[in-house]
Homo-oligomer: A and B are copies of this chain.
Amino acid sequence: MKNTFGQSVSVTLFGESHGKAIGAVIDGLAPGIEVSEDFIESQLTKRRPAGKTGTARREADKFQILSGVFEGKTTGTPLCIIIPNEDTKSRDYLKTRFLARPGHADYTANCKYHGFEDYRGGGHFSGRITAALVAAGAIAISALRPKGIYIGTHVMRCAGVSDRKFENINSDLEKLNSLDFAVLDDTAKDKMIKEIEKAAADGDSVGGILETAVCGVPAGVGEPWFDTMESVLSHILFSIPAIKGVEFGAGFAAADMRGSEDNDDFIAENGKVITKTNHSGGINGGITNGMPIIIKCAVKPTPSIYKKQNTVDFSKGENAELLIEGRHDPAIIHRARVVVDSAVALTLCDMLSLRFGTDYLSGGSI
């Protein structure tokens, strides 16, 4: 279904880096959910590049809600939100039109769209499109909170520096919410920023790992085949540019465990069933078990670097050299975390509505 994702609650993305506007349509979201423009704004701010760690491109991200909100609340009909593009410098991109930037989609876009693609700034492949996802995700996050469902992501690793692990997830999520650069351990954060600046000075870039926790999802959501909770989450996560790995709970580390170590013992506690450990990341057999959902995403280093690279001029099929000028992000991982939160929130709205009906997230007294 291409640029639309979700079955009961869906999101459709559109736009190019240098077109008139980017945007998103959320469909199927319950009526009566409060839509705070301030919260959308604050989420967009978290994604927006800032300071030395981001690109020089500055976007005010002045969004407009075109439909689906009435008297401050969702109507239940499609909500379209657009963000006009303002700070676009199209001239930068003309001279490298046919030089495939390594790590980018220029060449594959050309294979698919036969040269008709809008190549300026990566076009529809630009990370800028994630702003539309963040705007839509802000509304999904707003829908989940009244149901006691909270999502938060920290930069677990960046440029070889590791953050501390989640300890008390609830308070950690609250802390993350207030941070611009979402690292739980301040020392780690300073080291990461230093490494990012070092890479920037080298004309290079860095990657990292994002860890996400979701609390409050009821047990019994997800399918055995094929729409396991892991399947549906990974589907949207792997569509975020730069994500090349996704794992749940112990993930790849489980590969080296024995069953007796990996298995999470069940415990009855105050009439609730919980698990002692959470190697499964809150999901057994594709279905939530009520424990926090734990996801890790590998974010590759930003492919835009300020170094001479070997590549191909695909209009001629000849080898060429490329030095990309223009604005670069030495790191995007700290900005990507709010993109991940948004993707997860939209997916949970969908899975919960499918499971419990389209009124489940409604803000009204039904």
B226 touches A4 (CB 8 A): yes
B1 touches A129 (CB 8 A): no
A275 contacts across to B, CB distance below 8 A: 102
Assuming A268-B318, A280-B103, is B263 touching A252 (CB within 8 A)? no
A112 touches B76 (CB 8 A): yes
A238 touches B228 (CB 8 A): yes
Q: Please tell me if A224 contacts chain B, counting CB pairs below 8 Å.
A: yes
Q: Please tell me if A338 contacts chain B, counting CB pairs below 8 Å.
A: no
Q: Please measure, in the bound complex, the distance between the C-alpha atom of A362 and the C-alpha atom of B364, giving whole angstroms.
A: 25
B5 touches A77 (CB 8 A): no
A259 touches B304 (CB 8 A): yes
Considering the complex, which residues of chain A in the window 47-62 have a beta carbon less than 8 Å from any beta carbon of chain B? Answer: none
Looking at A145-153, A166-174, A175-183, A293-301, the stretch in contact with chain B turns out to be: A293-301
User: What 0/1 readout, one digit per residue, does chain A (77-108) give for beta carbons within 8 Å of chain B?
Assistant: 11110100000000000000000101111011
Q: Please tell me if A134 contacts chain B, counting CB pairs below 8 Å.
A: no
B259 touches A305 (CB 8 A): yes
A271 contacts across to B, CB distance below 8 A: 317
Q: Please tell me if A256 contacts chain B, counting CB pairs below 8 Å.
A: yes
A64 contacts across to B, CB distance below 8 A: 20
A299 touches B255 (CB 8 A): yes
A118 touches B244 (CB 8 A): no
A255 touches B76 (CB 8 A): no
A42 contacts across to B, CB distance below 8 A: none
User: What 0/1 readout, one digit per residue, does chain A (211-246) give for beta carbons within 8 Å of chain B?
Assistant: 000000001111111111011101111110101111
* CB-CB nearest in chain B for A364: B114
| Minimal beta-carbon separation of A253 from chain B (angstroms) | 8
A366 touches B114 (CB 8 A): yes
| Minimal beta-carbon separation of A319 from chain B (angstroms) | 5
* CB-CB nearest in chain B for A119: B70
A129 contacts across to B, CB distance below 8 A: 225
Assuming A19-B66, A112-B76, is B5 touching A7 (CB within 8 A)? no
Of B73, B114, B310, B314, which one neighbours A32 at CB under 8 angstroms? B114
Q: Please tell me if A41 contacts chain B, counting CB pairs below 8 Å.
A: no
Of B20, B111, B284, which one neighbours A66 at CB under 8 angstroms? B20
Of B206, B259, B279, B312, which one neighbours A205 at CB under 8 angstroms? B259
Assuming A31-B117, A111-B219, A219-B108, is B247 touching A298 (CB within 8 A)? yes
Task: Please give me the 9 A-B residue pairs with the lowest Cβ-Cβ distance, nearest first.
Answer: A105-B285, A111-B220, A245-B247, A357-B357, A31-B116, A205-B259, A108-B287, A102-B263, A77-B124
Given A7-B7, A67-B124, A228-B239, 12 additional A-B pairs, CB 8 A: A1-B226, A32-B116, A75-B124, A77-B113, A104-B284, A129-B225, A226-B239, A234-B235, A244-B281, A259-B302, A263-B303, A268-B312
